[in-house]
Structure 1
């Protein structure tokens, strides 16, 4: 008698279905893949919370054997074309010029242009990644990625399909596969592929329809990975799957013609409404803006907020382009704006809101031979992707293009790729007074681990039994950049005191302790209002955490370009004009989250327990939204990196410090680019 033992059929089935190894080993065995191609797939409108439905299993497998992020932030506004072009260039919309899906640029046209329906390269600033590669004779391909149809600087991808909505997703994937089957000498090294779902169905359909579309996407992605696996090419390709924005149900509709009386305007509809005064010259524009802002003042801050460019939160990076509206209606979740009822096209969901808000969060997944295994990144913004893609393609960064990403932010994603150490500024030195060093010894041990600056910056220390502080200033002038203070519960915090006069501008100390070390001109109403609220929250945090380090300073961004003007130029202007009126002020608060500060040192006992909360407040008299103190401060939170860009300072330097292990590059760059979503212990703060 012969007994044959056959394996179970479901074991055969399991082996057939798996495109990844259980041990997550990824090794390329094909000799003609010397340069590993990079495939970037965008799933339009795939919000982070869709992952929790566990429908798209391919992404879960990518996370297990590759890298994912808790979530990714888009750029403001969280619209399709602005964000896809930000991914392609590493630039904010204010820099690359695609500030909305609908654009008004009076220098090019006297009416709105739908950027989705034009290939006019004049609208696209910056250098997209396919141009960077094509200039170096590296072949690229685009499958419907926004902006690929435009000959930007006369260049387009070698392979570029004209958008065809009717092309099935199966055919699109087959096109990607066919490109990857090409011989090495003509195969694209970069493929950028765009899929319009689940965005299209989410705008007008219900949750069941969205789930059905997610199931379709899983079938398509599974087909792609299985096919590449069967070709024995999957482990030779680096793959990134991401999305551009999230999605939110609409429940509040506003019509601008019912809100303001001025009919001589242009208005771009959406959850972020942009209002333009096309017929006004520079001499009358500011009056029209002020007049209209007064009409909208305190209208309903629960559902939307109104800003001009100076008052917009700096973390939006949405002020320096002339294409940005003169007034922004910043919808809160669920709000949408139309010019009038006739143009309301009855969307049930939309996007464009503040990228910090949970429904706008997006996805990031990466898998491949040069991708770290099992890594979960802290949230980051999509402007960081450009530098990652350049590194994965082994392109010399010196041959790349300038961008708004932060060098090194996503280096931890890279595996088996040489990584250059980010360039950092040198530590600050003490200022010399009459050619002598100010102090033989400083009480500010660890200051150089906390902050550095341009080479012309130095610091003056002020130390006593009750005070540890330092002024950062230019070494060739009295132009002060920032004030650093270590404050504990024994230090009495002084609230700003208004003088009994009616001056519009008041010389005010930025010191959290009320010393006179750093004084600037602030608007009287600002001092009385939100600057006083900033002082109060600082005092609250001293009480809550016993000891904090506070860094305060002025910002001189008069042209609203969100970038630090040459310090010599600024300081020279200040010395000549004695003009100490900043456009904004900043404050950075450091705490030790799970440990204490070292005595007489600017270091936490557990170095990586260092935590930060930062603010940038405009020096303006009016808050047109009538926000309460904590809501206003929460709206004007900022990254450390935003303050660096506006001041020339640099936080948590690592490259030049012997004790660099305290703050390694990964910890430093993550904290510097961290987007603060909430105030600390908001329920315990005084209002």
Structure 2
């Protein structure tokens, strides 16, 4: 929240971190006094470095570390026993200081209602804590009000995570021997193979392969990922601290034995992990609501509120909170139209796989007549687009770069094609991309002839086809039938170091992504995509292209697809595009200080740049708002902004998330990968990240009492601000680090894996580090995978990218996650956090008020890595420090969001069909006719300065402007009624290329959603699906591993758009 970085980026990948470069032990971040663990630059450092102004800190994670040379001017040792009144008076004293010494930024942390959530015996415990929180906030706001501060400061209230009641423990000890491993346990468990002498994995007696065998599918309901297999959305791969395996159980499960009442750390998909954000101040609009967001977005809000927007790059989006800000910074309009690819002639059909004559004639006719898109929702300077009528191939301008994307419009009523062929549009290419047709699989989603673009193919591993691509294609078709029309973008991305960002240099694609878009009401346009009343919904996926991922064998297809969902921002980062999609959803919604009569009327001198006050409530779950105990936040939001919900970074633990909020880095990046960290380079022990000074971190007060105290504190604080005339002069942001999940069971890993030689960090996520060279990861994995009910076991390689929990050696070798309510601690009591942010109880909060925020604005749901860019924006140093957040993410709650324009790829002639795999003449004629007549997209929901777009009518290819970069993306509109194509072919639009991208046709598979897809079921039975011919763009193909392509055909409910 204070860095804008995912944990994988700022390094605090958990509350406990193992980093052999810093320590030979798993170090607990709450007690470890070592600056090197903390990566990235927190907001107070950026602010002091760029402005020279004071910044003060009250107990915020990381404040007592000086890893950048700019430590807060005032930062107390942690003292949980400090009374609420004393805390309020401290904040007031700071804001009463003369202008020269008064802090322009204040970060304050409160331990409730987290403590109550962990120790809860019943929901009433949490309710009591919430009542206490409300009492605290009322006292705080009353104090602000009496001091006339309420209208002079920007106040943002956040939380780090939610809380999930625990109900079971998963014991990994019976599955894996912990000798030679570092195991960080909790609701997510990280296992790292540890060798204190050698760092090369090949020298270790414990192999990841053997350890994986002990983990994969050995524990019921436990997902086991490596950093390679980790969903991109988790942003938990790009840190050596994450470990080799990441284990996740279902909500309620923990790997700690025994376990307490509640815990956090689960996937942010768990609703109990969701948290809050409320804000008030001269920067915030009255009664504004920010859409749901992940807390990595906060950093850009802080930067904006502090007048230093853009001062530090991070993982958040600059401008995300503009919708809740009164005056968002003016930004240069960087949006450019993606250019059309070079044209080599007219649009004709080039057969890349033999096309039946009738089908070819249809395609040719369509290609030659369909107009270019009017505008294009995707931008990249490195890519251009090739028009395939309703489909578009986005091709890299570098001919050696095989990354491509396909845009398709799928229609439930389109005529399906049953022919097996692929083709190209000769406007863009006169050479088919692949020679070996038999191994290629379409990744386009459509079932018409036009989706059988040769560029929408790739050679996926058979396992990938069976477990991922097949179910995804079926799910896409099910959605097309259900919603009648879809706009689909499918593409290939290369991210060899798993940092979530597209590689600069061309390489073999490592990931496959898809975005599905539908309208809640009706479609206004599919070219560009636009919905009536701007009511658009999207669902995105990013899948690592792996030859195998054993933990998927104990997950059903819907569970797999859900796990590998991603945000649009995640796809942008890994694809190298910028999208222009979607809109924010507005929402409407005593204490002495409440009311907006003085909004924007700061009556104090010297507050031209409002100080930024960031107040965090530990463990304030989004769900707690529904209890209606903490009224202060509702009153605050009436005059400011709040977030729909905030997703904690994975794992949803206190230390990783607080440091994420002030660095904009994922824990894998900032190094605090857990509350306890094992890093052999720093310590041979598992170190607690909690400071060694002060009283115990957790006490035993019930949650509802804590909420009452929080409200009391906030009321006192805001009243004091109001009395000091500060309320309209500061930007106040209230956040939380995580939610809270009541615990109901414990998962005992001791019966699955022996802990000798392992460092096991237990909790609702458990991390296992192998700390003995004689123990192999493969052997440990065998003891863990699918051996514990409802426990996911991951390595850093298999960890979902969305968790961003792979790229740090401190994470460990295995990460174990149980279902919400489960913990790996034994015994357990109350509640805990740390679950995946998919667990709703982990969701948290963000509220804000101040001169930077729009009144009554709502930020969409976001992950807390976004905060850093908010801090930078609020402090006037936006873009000052790169981080994992998205610059501009908070634009919707601030003032003015940037506009971007896509560029069409270079044109080389008219739109004709270039056959890249032989197509039937009729199909070719149809495509050619359609290509030559379909218009360009009016606007385009994708942006990247490195890419351009190629129009394929309802589909679009987003291509890299570097011809050597093969990364491409495809946007498709899938329509169940669209005319379907059956022959196998691929083609290009000659407007952008006169040369087909691949020579080896047989190994290519379409990744466009509307293309023909064929794969083997059980290695023998050939399954075929028919899709749109316009989706068979040659640029929408890739050589996917067979594992990636292979799958059964799933049906039924699961995830939805």
* TM-score band, normalised by shorter chain: 0.7 to 0.9
SS class of match (1:90): strand
Aligned partner of residue 574 in structure 2, secondary structure? helix
What corresponds to 1:266 in structure 2? 182
Hey, what does 1:533 align to over in structure 2? 471
Aligned partner of 1:592 in structure 2 is 519
**CA deviation profile, 1:194-231 (whole Å, cap 9, x unmatched):** 11111112212333333232222222221111122112
2:74 is matched with 159
CA distance in structure 1 between the partners assigned to 2:1055 and 2:322 by the alignment = 37
Structure 2 counterpart SS, 1:209: helix
3-state DSSP of counterpart to 1:248: strand
Which residue of the partner structure matches residue 99 of structure 2? 184
Cα pair 1:506 1:524 within 8 Å, conserved = no
Greater helix fraction, Structure 1 or Structure 2: 1
* Match status 1:656 vs 2:901: yes
CA contact (8 A) 1:198 1:214 kept: yes
Displacement, 1:590? 1.9
State the partner residue of 1:683. Answer: 1053
Match status 1:432 vs 2:342: yes
Q: Partner residue of 1:354?
A: 267
Shift of the alpha carbon at 1:521? 2.2
What does residue range 242-391 of structure 1 map to in structure 2 within 5 Å? 242-261=158-177, 263-279=179-195, 281-283=200-202, 288-302=207-221, 304-338=222-256, 344-391=257-304
| Contact kept? 1:496, 1:527, Cα under 8 Å | no
User: Are 2:371 and 1:452 equivalent residues in the alignment?
Assistant: no
Residues 26-425 of structure 1 mapped to structure 2, 5 A cutoff = 87-135=1-49, 136-206=51-121, 207-261=123-177, 263-279=179-195, 281-283=200-202, 288-302=207-221, 304-338=222-256, 344-395=257-308, 397-398=309-310, 400-415=311-326, 417-421=327-331, 424-425=334-335
State the alpha-carbon separation in 1 of the partners of residues 398 and 253 from structure 2.
51
Instruction: Work out whether residues 553 and 586 of structure 1, in 8 Å CA contact, stay in contact via their aligned partners in 2.
Output: yes
Q: State the partner residue of 1:492.
A: 416
Contact 2:902 2:939 in 1 (8 A): no
For residues 244-301 of structure 1, what are the alpha-carbon distances to aligned partners after superposition, in whole Å with 9 as ceiling and x for unaligned?
1111111111222222145221111111101011127322569722222222222345
Q: 1:373, CA displacement in angstroms?
A: 0.5
**2:527 corresponds to which of 578, 598, 601:** 601
TM-score (structure 1 length as normaliser): 0.75
1:509 equivalent in alignment to 2:879 = no
Q: CA RMSD of the aligned region, Å?
A: 3.0
Matched, 1:612 2:548: no
**Match 2:399 to one of 477, 494, 498:** 477
Q: Structure 1 residues 606, 211: closer, same or farther in 2, change over 3 A?
A: closer
Contact 1:481–1:647 (8 Å) recurs in 2: no
Helix, strand or coil: the match of 2:267? coil
Query: What's the offset of the Cα at 1:320?
Result: 0.5
SS at match of 1:296: coil
Aligned position for 2:931:
none
**Shift of residue 605, structure 1, vs aligned partner:** 5.4
Query: 1:301 touches 1:627 (CA, 8 Å); kept in 2?
Result: no
Q: Which has the higher contact order (CA 8 A, sep 6+)?
A: 2
2:672 matched residue in structure 1: none
Number of aligned residue pairs: 552
> In 2, distance between residues paired with 1:313 and 1:529?
15
Deviations 1:179-199 (A, max 9, x none): 111111111111111111111
Give deviations 1:401-438, integer Å, cap 9, x for gaps.
111001211111211x3522365441111112359999
The change in CA–CA distance for 1:352 and 1:431 in structure 2 (over 3 A counts) is: same
Describe the superposition over 1:453-501 as per-residue Cα deviations: whole angstroms up to 9, x where unpaired: 2x131111123xxxx222111224263421122222224277999xxxx
Aligned residues of 1:276 and 1:325 also touching (Cα < 8 A): yes
Cα pair 2:168 2:253 within 8 Å, conserved: yes
Q: Provide the C-alpha distance between the structure 2 equivalents of 1:211 and 1:684, rounded to a whole number of angstroms.
A: 32
Distance, in Å, in 2 between the alignment partners of 1:249 and 1:619 is 35
Structure 1 stretches lacking a partner, 5+ long: 1-86, 339-343, 498-502, 575-579, 666-680
1:444 and 1:602 in contact (8 A); partners too: no
CA shift, 1:549, in A, is 2.2
Q: 1:410 to 1:537 in 2, by over 3 A?
A: same
SS in 2 for 1:359: strand
Q: Give the secondary structure class of the aligned counterpart of 1:536.
A: helix
TM alignment of 1:3-18, pairs within 5 A: none
Counterpart secondary structure, 1:382: strand
Q: Which deviates further from its counterpart, 278-287 or 506-515?
A: 278-287
Matched residue SS, 2:53: coil
Q: Which moved more, 1:323-332 or 1:539-548?
A: 539-548
Q: Distance in 2 between matches of 1:326 and 1:218?
A: 42
Measured in 1, the distance between the counterparts of 2:518 and 2:570 equals 19
Q: Which residue of 1 aligns with 2:555?
A: 627
Any conservation in 1 of the 2:375–2:937 contact (CA below 8 Å)?
no
List runs of 5+ in structure 2 lacking aligned partners.
Answer: 349-366, 422-435, 582-898, 904-935, 943-1050
Residue pair 1:511, 1:517 contacting (<8 A) in 2 also: no
Provide closer, same or farther for how the CA distance between residues 262 and 299 of structure 1 changes in structure 2, counting only shifts above 3 A: same
Contact 1:430 1:437 in 2 (8 A): no
Q: Helix, strand or coil for the counterpart of 1:358?
A: strand
The DSSP-based 3-state class of the residue aligned with 1:111 is strand
After superposition, the Cα gap between the structure-2 partners of 1:300 and 1:166, relative to the gap in structure 1 and judged at 3 Å, is same
Q: TM-score, normalised by structure 2?
A: 0.49
Secondary structure of 2:542 counterpart: strand
Q: Once the two structures are superposed, what CA deviation does each residue of 1:284-319 show, in whole Å capped at 9, x if it has no partner?
A: 5697222222222223453x2111111111100000
Cα drift, residue 114 of structure 1: 1.2
- Determine the C-alpha separation between the residues in 1 that align with 2:84 and 2:19: 35
Q: Could you report, residue by residue, the CA deviation over 1:315-358 in whole angstroms, capped at 9, with x for unpaired residues?
A: 000000010021001122011113xxxxx354121110011211
**Residue aligned with 1:362, SS:** strand
For structure 1, which segment, 157-166 or 208-217, has the greater mean C-alpha deviation from structure 2 after superposition? 208-217
1:147 and 1:494 map into 2 onto residues whose CA distance is 60
Alpha-carbon deviation of 1:444?
A: 4.0
Q: Is the 8 A contact 1:130 1:140 kept in 2?
A: yes
Distance 1:113 1:496, change over 3 A: farther
Greater displacement, 485-494 / 151-160: 485-494
The structure-2 alpha-carbon separation of the partners of 1:476 and 1:273, relative to structure 1 and needing over 3 Å to count, comes to: closer
Indicate the residue corresponding to 1:13 in structure 2: none
Q: Say if 1:275 and 1:328, in contact at 8 Å, map to a contact too.
A: yes
